[in-house]
């Protein structure tokens, strides 16, 4: 038990020593305005770095991800056609595609897929 605690203490001490040493050696002492400013093709930035994000674009991206994941859930359906009952396979596929189309219709009906009103 003492050996494990000693090894743990030595490891902790070496880790703290290495982190402290790297922090001291990597410290940049020269504060230059050009080096501290964001690089924008060699020019000073004209506007704020915090631009408003388009909520419309975010909604389209989330809808794309949802349908993309559903398509990846649909792909194994083609792989199991030989291993399952054809009636069960057809009903399962039809229900899954119907749910996808219902979700797409709902998003379209709510106007989430249009860029401008």
- Is 77 among the domain residues? yes
The per-residue pLDDT for 40 is: 62
The per-residue pLDDT for 28 is: 65
Count of domains forming the chain: 1
The per-residue pLDDT for 12 is: 95
Question: Which residues contact residue 22 at a Cβ distance below 8 angstroms, ignoring those fewer than 6 apart?
Answer: none
* Tens of each residue's pLDDT in the chain, 117 residues: 889 999 999 999 999 999 998 888 886 666 666 666 666 665 555 666 566 777 778 888 888 888 888 888 888 888 888 888 999 989 988 998 999 899 889 988 988 777 665
The per-residue pLDDT for 13 is: 95
DSSP per-residue letters across the chain: -HHHHHHHHHHHHHHHHHHHHHHHHT------HHHHSPPBTTB---S-S-PPP-HHHHHHHHHHHHHHHHHHHHHHHHHTGGGS-HHHHHHHHHHHHHHHHHHHHHHHHTTTT-S--
- Is 80 among the domain residues? yes
| CA-CA-CA-CA torsion sign (6, 8, 9, 15) | positive
The per-residue pLDDT for 70 is: 83
Domain that holds residue 105: 55-109
- Is 25 among the domain residues? no
- Is 94 among the domain residues? yes
- Is 4 among the domain residues? no
- Is 41 among the domain residues? no
pTM of the predicted model, to two decimals?
0.48
- Is 45 among the domain residues? no
């Amino acid at each position: 038990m003492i050996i494990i605690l000693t090894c743990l203490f030595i490891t902790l001490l070496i880790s703290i020593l290495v982190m402290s040493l790297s922090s001291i050696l990597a410290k940049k002492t020269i504060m230059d305005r050009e080096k501290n400013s964001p690089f924008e093709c060699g020019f000073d930035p004209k506007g704020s770095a915090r631009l408003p994000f388009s909520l419309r674009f975010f909604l389209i991206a989330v809808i794309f991800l949802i349908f993309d994941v559903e398509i990846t859930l649909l792909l194994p359906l083609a792989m199991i056609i030989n291993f399952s009952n054809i009636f069960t396979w057809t009903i399962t596929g039809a229900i899954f595609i119907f749910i996808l189309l219902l979700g797409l219709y709902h998003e379209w009906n709510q106007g989430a897929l249009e860029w401008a009103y």
